[in-house]
Amino acid sequence: MSEKYDVVVVGSGPAGYVSAIRAAQLGLKVACVEQWIDDKGAPVLGGTCLNVGCIPSKALLDSSQKYSDVIEKFSKHGINVEKPTVDVAAMLDRKNKIISQLTSGIGGLFKHNGVVVLQGRGKVLSGARVEVTNGKEDPSIVDAGSVIIAAGSVPIAIPPAPINGDTIVDSTGALEFDSIPKRLGVIGAGVIGLELGSVWKRLGSEVVLLEALDTFLPMMDSQVASESAKIFKKQGLDIRMGARVTNAVEKKKKVSLSYQCSGEEHTEIFDKLIVSVGRRPRSEELLASDSGVTLDERGFIYVDDFCATEAPNVYAVGDVVRGPMLAHKGSEEGVMVAERIAGQSTKLNYQCIPSVIYTHPEVAAVGKTEQELKADGIDYQSGVFPFQASGRALAADDSEGLVKILTDKQTDRILGCHIVGPSAADLVQQVVIAMEFGASAEDLSLMIFGHPTLSEAVHEAALAVSGHAIHMPNKKK
């Protein structure tokens, strides 16, 4: 007789482990299926985010930024360091220790909350059942009152540049270089490409980013995208737009890459090549033919506004469903689904999900962009404040970028916020909170912000919406 659980979660990434923990907190009997194992055969929890995505990339971004500061900024502060060097092995070891600490932490949280880990590949069957295959024993069938699919995503591969795990790698391989490439090529100038390119540029690589699109960061507000491009190019990132890769082959331990740009064929030689053209849902071999769960043409699981699939009592959350592939989006979907299974009427506000690019300076956004408001015919106002006018940013020698707030012209309600600058990821969260409560720019402008702080730039941008900014000249409204 098979084991029976109230909830079975497939996948232990941010969407999966959070939904499992929340369901257990609500008194439900929960199991989480995870196929990833370590070299000892034990389940590896945390999914892409903790193991080969968000966390390790941020560890390397932080380490490389500290080295960059030593090289480029310390002398301005009167600090002189002679001939600093990089120990890549130590850097990777620090990254791996952080990963281990966090993934083992999830195991501890599972144990504390009574979540059972089932090691193996999960496949959703009809009747809210899950088949678990681990390659050691015969497949087992687990009965569930409800199933939450949180299988995550994988890097997209492209035929012109096949991954070989050595000279041509995906985002996972780019986190494991054991030495600094003299010349590094990156296919894709999106979030992942910019972050990984920044890491190795700071450490000394010559970095060329090849982007097939003609528009830089099209998902971002165009003004912020334009400002970001200027900053990144000033840092030495060679960003080439409209560059379509046609071929990449290994030759004598280097990569010969061909691409077309403006109708002309070009060839470049790199020591390493990173393919970072996006991610796709991990939906292969996930669903039995009679599961009742439907995929769209891109492999995403079809769900409604509450992440319910077309199969009774089967839900899907995170990267495997529509919407931005963001760990925090998946986590909150997991919480929503767990609470709805437990009988609560939780709803997620998809208009208030922030997105961040963890370059330096960071790029962050929430809500509508100016181009979206124009396309929708919405009458709006904007307020912009540059960090060059921020005393705190100048004191920190970190004053590139700006804060931009967009509001409805009639109601003054905040519709979006877009930031490129120091601590943008944390600053945008202030506006996320304001938007969640339906605040106006006037509401933000009436609040008292500490001085001197970077957050004053948010305050001034809110004041600038109505032409009342104090620390810069206002444009006539």
Q: Which residue has the tokens 């929430």?
A: 366
What is the number of other CB atoms lying within 10 angstroms of the CB of residue 415?
A: 26
The CATH architecture one would assign to domain 168-277 is 3-Layer(bba) Sandwich (3.50)
2 band by pLDDT with thresholds 50, 70 and 90: low
Range of lowest pLDDT (35-49, 162-176, 192-206): 35-49
Nearest to 64 by CA among 466, 359, 377: 359
Q: How many CA atoms lie within 13 A of 228 on its CB side?
A: 35
pLDDT (tens digit, 9 = 90+) per residue, 352-367?
999 999 999 999 999 9
The 10 Å Cβ neighbour count of residue 387 is 24
Query: Given the structure tokens 């199991």, which residue do they identify?
Result: 31
Band of the pLDDT at 182, cuts 50, 70, 90?
A: very high
Cα torsion angle, 139, 142, 146, 152, sign: negative
- Whether 311 has a pLDDT exceeding 70, the answer reads yes
* Residue 23 tokens, joined: 């369901």
Average pLDDT score over the chain: 97
How does pLDDT run across 79-101, given as a tens digit for each residue? 999 999 999 999 999 999 999 99
Average pLDDT over residues 322-327: 97
Is 328 one of the catalytic residues? no
* The CATH number, out of the four listed (1.10.420.10, 3.30.1950.10, 3.50.50.60, 3.90.1200.10), of the domain defined by the range 4-154+280-348: 3.50.50.60
88-96: Cβ within 8 A, 24+ apart: 88/177, 88/178, 88/179, 88/180, 88/203, 89/178, 91/60, 91/63, 91/64, 92/176, 92/178, 94/59, 94/63, 95/56, 95/59, 95/60, 95/63, 95/175, 96/56
Instruction: Band the pLDDT of 158: cuts 50, 70, 90.
Output: very high
Per-residue pLDDT tens digits for 91-143: 999 999 999 999 999 999 999 999 999 999 999 999 999 999 997 888 999 99
| pLDDT higher than 70, residue 1 | no
What's residue 41's pLDDT?
Answer: 83
In the Cβ-directed half-sphere of 91, how many Cα atoms lie within 13 Å? 24
Paired tokens of 228: 């970001």
pTM attached to this predicted model: 0.96
All CATH 3.50.50.60 domain ranges in the chain, comma separated? 4-154+280-348, 168-277
- Written out in words, the top-level CATH class of the domain with range 352-465 is alpha beta
Residues of the chain with CATH 3.30.390.30: 352-465
Three-state secondary structure string covering the chain: CCCEEEEEEECCCHHHHHHHHHHHHCCCCEEEEECCECCCCCECCCHHHHHHCHHHHHHHHHHHHHHHHHHHCHHHHCCCCCCCCCCHHHHHHHHHHHHHHHHHHHHHHHHHHCCEEEECEEEEECCCEEEEECCCCCCEEEEEEEEEECCCEEECCCCCCCCCCCCEECCCHHHCCCCCCCEEEEECCCHHHHHHHHHHHHCCCEEEEEECCCCCCCCCCHHHHHHHHHHHHHCCCEEEECCEEEEEEEECCEEEEEEEECCEEEEEEECEEEECCCEEECCCCCECCCCCCCECCCCCECCCCCCECCCCCEEECHHHECCCCCHHHHHHHHHHHHHHHCCCCCCCCHHHCCEEECCCCEEEEEECCHHHHHHCCCCEEEEEEEHHHCHHHHHCCCCCCEEEEEEECCCCEEEEEEEEECCHHHHHHHHHHHHHCCCEHHHHHHCCCCCCCCCHHHHHHHHHHCCCCCCCCCCCC
What percentage of residues in the chain have a pLDDT greater than 70? 99
Query: How many whole angstroms separate alpha carbon 299 and alpha carbon 281?
Result: 6
Q: Which is the catalytic residue, given 266, 451, 459, 468?
A: 451
| Ramachandran quadrant class, 27 (left: phi over 0; alpha: psi -120 to 50; beta: rest) | left
**Which whole number is the average pLDDT over 237-249?**
98
pLDDT at 242 over 50: yes
**Banded model confidence at residue 3, pLDDT cuts 50, 70, 90:** confident
What pLDDT, on a 0 to 100 scale, did the predictor assign at position 39?
A: 82
Q: Do 193 and 186 meet the contact criterion of CB atoms below 8 Å apart?
A: yes
